[in-house]
Structure 1
């Protein structure tokens, strides 16, 4: 498990959202993630093996 990205969270919450520290520290990680999605858009996660295999089947490279 990766450690929580505190530096990124603080830069976003305090720097981008310009939250006062008290408001930032009262937020849950889920609330911060929702704010992140509203600002930068929700992004898909990394491609997994079944997803890669489906793409390879759909778009063969001719080998």
Structure 2
């Protein structure tokens, strides 16, 4: 079972937004949601979150993959 209500999405995309079928099917679900006005804001990374990421994934030092 699909998590998307395709008939409703197709109606909104084809009739509401005036998309051609090829344009509708070329969109990702995220792009379609954005075009339909769903705005979900993502908070920027806080300093402590950045520090945690830097600890978990430190920059590698030494020789690069291409031999430099």
How high is the TM-score relative to the length of structure 2?
A: 0.50
Count, aligned residues = 39
- Runs (5+) with no aligned partner, structure 1: 43-63
TM-score, length of structure 1 as denominator length: 0.54
Extract unaligned runs of 5+ from structure 2: 40-68
Q: Could you list the runs of 4 or more consecutive aligned residues of structure 1 that deviate by over 3 angstroms after TM superposition?
A: none
In the TM superposition, residue 2 of structure 1 has moved relative to its aligned partner by 6.6
The Cα RMSD (Å) is: 1.9
Which one has the bigger helix percentage? 1
